[in-house]
Chains A and B, each alone.
Chain A
Amino acid sequence: MGKLRVVHYINQFFANIGGEEKADFPAELRVGEVVGPGLAFKASFKDEAEIIATIVCGDSYFNENLETAKAQILEMVKAQNPDVFIAGPAFNAGRYGVACGTVADMVSSELGIPAITGMYEENPGADMFKNKVLTIATKNSAAGMRDAVAKMAPLALKLAKNEKIGASCEEGYMPNGVRVNFFEKERGSKRAVKMLLSKLSGKPFTTEYPMPSFDRVDPNPAVKDMAHARVALVTSGGIVPKGNPDHIESSSASHYGEYDISGVFDLTSDTYETAHGGYDPCYANQDADRVLPVDVLRDLEKEGKIGKLHEKFYTTTGNGTSVASSKAFAAEFSAKLKADGVDAVILTST
């Protein structure tokens, strides 16, 4: 069997043509040449594969002449008909990352040739293409070339040989949203206890259910004059007018509700209920003030402890609702609260 055939895509910088000043370098096919990072791939492939051609393209040229560049590069790859296509790695170079993702996606979807790329996880190209193209997570600078090639080369060979690809954590590509069922060697309880023991003894362990990473927002200054402040209520506990008029889902909510409580002094079992499907609803259905304390805030308003209870409240069901959705809901209603002159918000969660 002959060697597997690889076509490699790199930018003007890695081809040693130049930096920004040469970023308008048009796409160029170099048949039989191994350039820049290609040398590291060549070493890693040993006798299994060879780079039959290198495509060099300036990052600005690619992004400013997108359709032309794509068509040119597609023709170049097609003519070489490789077993696998490698783009990059691009590390943290934004336009290069986008270019790598674009060409790799194009080569695999339009030519049916397996393609991979590699870049830093914060490269904008990563978010754009990691679900479409196998994208090896690399360090943020070319100092990580050795690591990047050590992961990209074996994965490229597997693809070229049409072998089964392992999970993202085994191969080093960024999770692409594809879930594959498999049987663990040990049962869940045993794995959980092992993890707990590692945690207690300060040893490293890998969670099987990673939490999304949350950013932080600095606290706003305190309310100076509560007696004249407009206070609004918000809840993730799903309190809605009886009958749930906007059909807020009991879990994984697709929207939030905005309801007017002008003239409402007490939430009762006849007027309000919860739409939330993640906790026993009977207590909130009996008396929704247990989740959204309208009655108490009306008293405090009457006593002059707060200026005013804002006439609208915002609500959704927090269970199973994605961080992205919650963020979008709250960004939208917070803008309304701000526009309505609300000074403080009490947000209740179940």
Chain B
Amino acid sequence: MVKEVERAGIPVVHICTVTPISLTVGANRIVPAIAIPHPLGNPAMTAQEEKAIRRQIVEKALDALQTEVSGQTIF
């Protein structure tokens, strides 16, 4: 799906935990996540801490979208 979004001409960032799969499939901008069942959260943390870490990942994703890349890049 990432590649089809890219092919449509929209810059896309893939947030995922298993980055080797993302590389195999062909995403160009990749941001690692926390865990498979909760990529943007951590139930072991308090709600506040959890949102903070989610924000960090999303901000990293926005940074990735604002970074020129020439090929597959893990941020």
Contacts and interface: CB of A to CB of B under 8 A. Distances in A.
Contacts of B17: 349-350
A297 to B, nearest CB: 7
Interface in A226-285: 226, 231, 234, 236-237, 279-284
Contacts of B5: 234, 330, 334, 337, 345, 347
B24 interface: yes
B55 A299 contact: yes
Nearest to B31: A346
A349 B28 contact: no
Given A219-B29, A330-B1, A293 B58 contact: yes
Nearest to B34: A290
A283 B34 CA distance: 12
Contacts, number: 169
Given A286-B43, A289-B40, A291-B38, A305 B62 contact: yes
30 contacts: A214-B26, A216-B3, A219-B71, A220-B11, A220-B12, A221-B11, A222-B65, A222-B68, A226-B62, A226-B66, A231-B62, A234-B5, A279-B37, A290-B39, A291-B39, A293-B54, A300-B58, A318-B1, A326-B4, A327-B3, A330-B5, A334-B4, A334-B8, A335-B8, A343-B11, A347-B5, A347-B14, A348-B14, A349-B18, A350-B16
Contacts of B33: 348-349
B12 A345 contact: yes
Interface residues of A, number: 56
Nearest to A332: B4
A289 B53 CA distance: 12
A295 interface: yes
Q: Which 9 A-B pairs have the closest CB atoms?
A: A290-B41, A330-B4, A334-B8, A219-B28, A330-B1, A349-B16, A283-B38, A290-B38, A220-B11
A215 B40 CA distance: 28
A211 interface: yes
Contact of A327 (B4, B22, B55): B4
A234 B61 contact: no
B49 interface: no
B2 A347 contact: yes
A329 interface: yes
Given A223-B11, A282-B37, A300-B59, 11 more contacts: A214-B26, A216-B26, A220-B12, A279-B37, A290-B40, A331-B7, A334-B10, A338-B8, A346-B15, A347-B5, A349-B16
A141 B71 CA distance: 33
B3 to A, nearest CB: 5
A216 B17 CA distance: 21
Given A222-B66, A289-B40, A214 B25 contact: yes
Nearest to A297: B58
Question: Which of A217, A284, A289 has most chain B Cβ within 10 Å?
Answer: A217
Interface of A: 211, 214-224, 226, 231, 234, 236-237, 279-284, 286-287, 289-291, 293, 295-297, 299-300, 305-306, 316, 318, 326-327, 329-331, 334-335, 337-338, 342-350
Nearest to B35: A283
Contacts of B38: 283-284, 290-291
B2 to A, nearest CB: 5
B28 A222 contact: no
Contacts of B58: 293, 296-297, 300, 346
Contact of B41 (A221, A287, A346): A287
A217 B28 contact: yes
B46 interface: no
B6 A217 contact: yes
B65 A223 contact: yes
Contact of A346 (B7, B8, B13, B70): B13
Contact of A338 (B10, B39, B66): B10
